[in-house]
């Protein structure tokens, strides 16, 4: 009978001594940027917050922290606003570049168009020539295109500046 009691005592002592290290193990509570909470035996990489939980520190809880979830929602919303602003800036920059190219193109056409083309001169009674309405109309159309291109460029700059503010 003593042997049987001794075996029970030894088995209980052995199982208790093996269980103590498991309870004393350090656990890490890692909060992901999206608000998910992960419990592990080592810190999770990429976590926005890591908390060490030991046997003496705090009890392990599987209830998510509503404040952490709210903070993560706010962070996600802020990141979304930043992405949307960056997309708007990229679009505004692209429009400024396109409008600048349009102005430069029309300026080049206007400069090249200053020389009269065949048929744009009319003879006069004194034996000379003068520029006719075809030439004047062509230059007026190019100047109107330049004005519109400059208006587009000004609007593109204003739009980009409003996104920057």
- Residue pLDDT, tens place only, 103-161: 999 999 999 988 999 998 998 888 888 989 999 999 999 999 999 999 999 999 999 99
The two structure tokens encoding residue 21: 């290290």
Residue of 30, 83, 26 whose CA lies nearest to 57: 26
DSSP letter at 159 equals H
Average pLDDT, the chain: 81
Looking at 12-26, 80-94, 101-115, 127-141, which range is the least confident one?
12-26
Between these two residues, 69 and 81, which has the higher pLDDT value? 81
Q: Categorize the per-residue pLDDT at 10 as very low, low, confident or very high, splitting at 50, 70 and 90.
A: low
The two structure tokens encoding residue 106: 């029309």
The pair phi, psi for residue 57, each rounded to 5°, is -90, -75
* 25 in Cβ contact with 41 (< 8 Å): yes
Residue of 38, 45, 44 whose CA lies nearest to 68: 38
Residue 25 scores a pLDDT above 50: yes
The burial of 31, by beta-carbon neighbours within 10 Å (0-12 exposed, 13-18 middle, 19 or more buried), is given as buried
pTM of the model: 0.52
Rounded Cα distance, 54 and 45, in Å:
19
Helix (H, G, I), strand (E, B) or coil at 64: coil
Q: Categorize the per-residue pLDDT at 57 as very low, low, confident or very high, splitting at 50, 70 and 90.
A: very low
Q: So what's the pLDDT on residue 5? A: 62
The answer for residues whose C-beta is within 8 angstroms of residue 109's C-beta and 6 or more apart is 142, 145
> Which CATH code fits 72-164?
1.10.287
The answer for residues whose C-beta is within 8 angstroms of residue 96's C-beta and 6 or more apart is 153, 156, 157, 160
């Amino acid at each position: 009978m003593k042997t049987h009691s001794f075996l029970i005592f030894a088995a209980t002592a052995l199982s208790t001594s093996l269980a103590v290290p498991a309870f004393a193990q350090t656990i890490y509570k890692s909060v992901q940027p999206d608000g998910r909470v992960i419990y592990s035996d080592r810190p999770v990489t990429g976590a926005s917050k890591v908390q060490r939980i030991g046997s003496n520190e705090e009890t392990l809880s599987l209830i998510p922290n509503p404040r952490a979830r709210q903070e993560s929602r706010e962070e996600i919303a802020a990141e979304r606003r930043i992405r949307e602003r960056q997309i708007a800036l990229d679009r505004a920059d692209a429009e400024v570049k396109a409008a600048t190219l349009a102005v430069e193109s029309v300026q080049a056409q206007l400069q090249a168009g200053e020389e009269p083309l065949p048929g744009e001169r009319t003879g006069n009674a004194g034996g000379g020539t003068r520029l006719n309405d075809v030439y004047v109309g062509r230059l007026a159309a190019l100047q109107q295109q330049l004005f519109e291109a400059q208006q587009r460029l000004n609007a593109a700059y204003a739009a980009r500046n409003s996104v920057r503010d």
